Structure 1
Amino acid sequence: MLNPSPAYSGYTAYGYLEPGVDYQPFELAAEVGRVPGYDLALDAGEQERLNRLLSENIVFSLHEHAVVLPEDEGQIRRYNRTGRQRTGYQGLAHSQLTAVIDNFMAGASCVTSTRGWKWDDMIYALGFRLADLAKQDFVRLATSTADIHAAKRDGHLALVAGFECSTMIENELDRIDMLYGFGVRQLGIAYSQSNMLGSGLSEPGDGGLTTFGRRAVERMNKLGILIDISHSGDRTCMDTIEHSSVPVMITHAGARAVWPTDRMKTDETIIACAERGGLIGLEAAPHTTLSEAHPVHTIESVMDHFRYCVDLVGIDHVAFGPDTMFGDHTAVHRAYAGNYAQKSPEGVDHPRVEYVDGLENPGENFINITGWLVRNGFSDEDIVKVLGGNAMRVLERVW
């Protein structure tokens, strides 16, 4: 494990308030060392190269939920209903990240409804966490690429606020402007289930981007909001790529040719996204980016998708969005299984895991990704691209 950032002072979430008086306390999962560390088996030269690549370059995760979960699985929904999810400052201090698009676990907030994705719930999730960010000096809200470069220069971590879907705007186009004003710089189209903009990937049919969805894409383009299509249906993905005047991203997914589930993207979608200048970020949430070669989900499974996508569209259009959190990710899936159930493909089975070895939380992901790339002979130039160079190039155009 590498040393934590010297800019981190030890602050913990809502440290400016009194637990039990100002907010409801929960026993939280460990941010560091919750599961055994992943053995990269690097020699001294490889370890030195890993350290140098992380220290000298922008390291950018396209998709995480940088919050700490309760230790008790049975408390997850109760915790989320308070709206006060805890940023994992300690874990992030160990991450070597320069920037992260944080998607706030907003769909799980369920403050005013048990079904999630309500406007008020998004404002709870966003407002509480940004108030907390303002009370400490390590993690900084980023709304421009200049903010990310400044974070690298100053040894801080830049947090980009994003939401995985736009369901909460309902049919109110101006709510996109409001979210931009609150600091949001990334929005997904649909989260598995359809909404006013388009179809989600779990639907039996995909009607594509709606007329309202096209107007929403145009508004996001005008404002400078990154559009994410990770959870959208195939036709909605293609329509969004075509209609957007700037590149869009698949911030967290994999290749369906490697693992045949609807959660993965077709070659057609990945190629179209890349041809318009976008990226695919490789996903690592448990039981997503598996492969026939590595059906037990580990970093090796994820990297099978990485190699495939690099061969398909080139290294300039691939990055990483591991989609992890601090705590038991599989417990979240169990807690919300009834909310966001997805289709189970016929004939596709695999062993279940408690966590993805090597990509378990935001604090370790990019250390292990970089180590894997070093160990497997990728050049410095290519590693710098997938760690953050590709993401920054696209965001310069979008923002």
Structure 2
Amino acid sequence: MSDRRGFLKQMTALAAATAAGAAWPSFAAEAGSSAWPPYRDTLAIDGASGLMLIYLEDDDPAVERELQAALDSGLTATLLTVAPSGRFWLNDAAFEATRANIRKWGEIIERHPGRLASIRSHDDLVRAQASRRLGMIYGFQGTEPLGEDLERIPMFRELGVRVIQLTHNRRNLVGDGCMEPGNAGLSNYGREVVERLNAERIVVDLAHGSQRTIREGIEASKAPVLISHTGCRALADLPRNTTDEELRAMADRGGVAGIIFWPYLRTDTQPMAIDVVRHIEHAIDVCGEDHVGIGTDIPVAPVERTPQFEHDNREFMRGMKEDGIFAKDRPDELYTFIPDLNTADRFDTLAALLSRRGHSDARIAKILGGNFARVMREVWG
């Protein structure tokens, strides 16, 4: 996510509104069946998502609604960010915050064993899918918690971290993020980090990287990489998106790119479901159906668009434009979700859209999560 502090402030406000009694729709619950019939038997993975439970007290009625959204989603797993990101961390604050987040998520999963599962292996994914639980894959969006200590990589693996993104938008010790004008690529230390991630069987994620960081990360990794949440730069020429050249290089090494739901899918107005489909189809054309997934970069539960949320969201977007994340001529009414996919079961709806456009069930299953699962199996062992 582009401005992590601002986004978390926005999401905390949303959690508060939810606690006050907001209701969340569920397409699957209302319809009584899947929009795409094979969905409930499909291993579905969101490459950038999560629940709001870490912001809620145990006795908050919103907890049950979050858990219901997890069930309604039909997802097998989400790649959950447990590390702080989106700012400079020049001391051990990120390290300590990450360990605290991991502890807290472990406690949350232990309190809800029938609804949630910790994912540390491909077999865990299979078990989560079979038991209709939502699996949590711990990941970082930036290597700041590592500091300058490579030995923290095996330590975090022992704590359950299975995916580490090298950079967020800014430059760090590993390399340049996508908003850095210098486009400096990987540092020498960054190459050491990639080598150690490979050795510890942790997936390398290149989302948010500068063009050189993405290209050099692909070249440096001996294992397939993810670009967990991105768009296609050929369709929307924005720094957060990935060029066709990088997509091909990633696919040549066996990697997967997840299509994001943020306003990076267009350069003008609000993206809608058809824009998600366009980016998925372009990525398929460029790098093949075995290398495309979905990384929404939004919470599992849909957004209740209350008047307060609309006000807060406009303020949030104005701040994003002031920070240069979005162009100043973009409308204040942009959303970091897709309005016509604003339900927990958005993967099911998207699958039905792809099916109606002639994509085979086998291809759709790969996009919904099969491709991410393949990389995870290959890297985790």
Normalised TM-score (structure 1): 0.77
**How far apart are 1:167 and its partner, in Å?**
1.4
Q: Which runs of 5+ in 2 are unaligned?
A: 1-14, 57-61, 304-308
Q: 1:20: which partner in 2?
A: none
The 1:62/1:341 distance shift into structure 2, 3 A limit, reads same
The 1:300/1:380 distance shift into structure 2, 3 A limit, reads same
Q: 1:63: which partner in 2?
A: 48
Conserved? CA contact 1:104–1:161, under 8 Å: yes
**How far apart are 1:349 and its partner, in Å?**
4.0
Separation of aligned partners in 2, 1:32 and 1:54: 30
**How far apart are 1:133 and its partner, in Å?**
1.0
**How far apart are 1:66 and its partner, in Å?**
2.3
Matches within 5 A, 1:55-134: 55-67=40-52, 88-104=66-82, 106-107=84-85, 118-134=94-110
- Between 1:113-122 and 1:167-176, the stretch displaced more is 113-122
Q: 2:233: which partner in 1?
A: 256
The 1:299/1:186 distance shift into structure 2, 3 A limit, reads same
Match of 2:360 among 372, 379, 386: 379
Conserved? CA contact 2:317–2:334, under 8 Å: no
The 1:189/1:51 distance shift into structure 2, 3 A limit, reads same
Q: Does 1:239 align with 2:216?
A: yes
Matches within 5 A, 1:1-399: 27-29=16-18, 50-67=35-52, 88-104=66-82, 106-107=84-85, 118-137=94-113, 138-285=115-262, 287-290=263-266, 295-325=269-299, 326=301, 327=303, 331=313, 334=316, 337=319, 341-344=323-326, 349=330, 352-354=333-335, 355-360=337-342, 363-399=344-380
Separation of aligned partners in 2, 1:304 and 1:151: 30
Separation of aligned partners in 1, 2:240 and 2:204: 18
Separation of aligned partners in 2, 1:117 and 1:307: 41
**How far apart are 1:49 and its partner, in Å?**
6.9
Normalised TM-score (structure 2): 0.80
Separation of aligned partners in 2, 1:67 and 1:195: 27
Conserved? CA contact 2:83–2:142, under 8 Å: no
**How far apart are 1:249 and its partner, in Å?**
0.7
**How far apart are 1:321 and its partner, in Å?**
0.6
Conserved? CA contact 2:232–2:243, under 8 Å: yes
The 1:149/1:35 distance shift into structure 2, 3 A limit, reads closer
**How far apart are 1:51 and its partner, in Å?**
4.9
Q: Which runs of 5+ in 1 are unaligned?
A: 1-25, 71-78, 80-84
**How far apart are 1:32 and its partner, in Å?**
10
The 1:300/1:160 distance shift into structure 2, 3 A limit, reads same
Deviations 1:206-246 (CA, angstroms, capped at 9, x unpaired): 22111111111011111111111111111011111001000
The number of residue pairs the alignment matches comes to: 348
The 1:36/1:93 distance shift into structure 2, 3 A limit, reads closer
- Between 1:206-215 and 1:27-36, the stretch displaced more is 27-36
Matching residue's letter, 1:352: E
**How far apart are 1:30 and its partner, in Å?**
6.6
The 3-state SS of whatever aligns with 1:52 is coil
The 1:301/1:318 distance shift into structure 2, 3 A limit, reads same
Separation of aligned partners in 2, 1:136 and 1:28: 23
Matching residue's letter, 1:67: M
Matching residue's letter, 2:376: L
The 3-state SS of whatever aligns with 2:48 is strand
Separation of aligned partners in 1, 2:83 and 2:341: 18
Separation of aligned partners in 2, 1:365 and 1:125: 27
The 3-state SS of whatever aligns with 2:265 is coil
Matching residue's letter, 1:29: T
Deviations 1:283-312 (CA, angstroms, capped at 9, x unpaired): 002x222267xx322111221111111111
The 1:311/1:375 distance shift into structure 2, 3 A limit, reads same
The 3-state SS of whatever aligns with 2:296 is coil
- Percent identity over the alignment is 25
- Between 1:271-280 and 1:150-159, the stretch displaced more is 150-159
**How far apart are 1:353 and its partner, in Å?**
2.8
- Between 1:216-225 and 1:352-361, the stretch displaced more is 352-361
The 3-state SS of whatever aligns with 2:74 is coil
Conserved? CA contact 1:32–1:90, under 8 Å: no
The 3-state SS of whatever aligns with 1:297 is coil
TM-align CA RMSD: 3.6
**How far apart are 1:387 and its partner, in Å?**
1.3
Matching residue's letter, 2:133: H
Separation of aligned partners in 2, 1:312 and 1:273: 11
The 1:271/1:201 distance shift into structure 2, 3 A limit, reads same
Conserved? CA contact 1:284–1:322, under 8 Å: yes
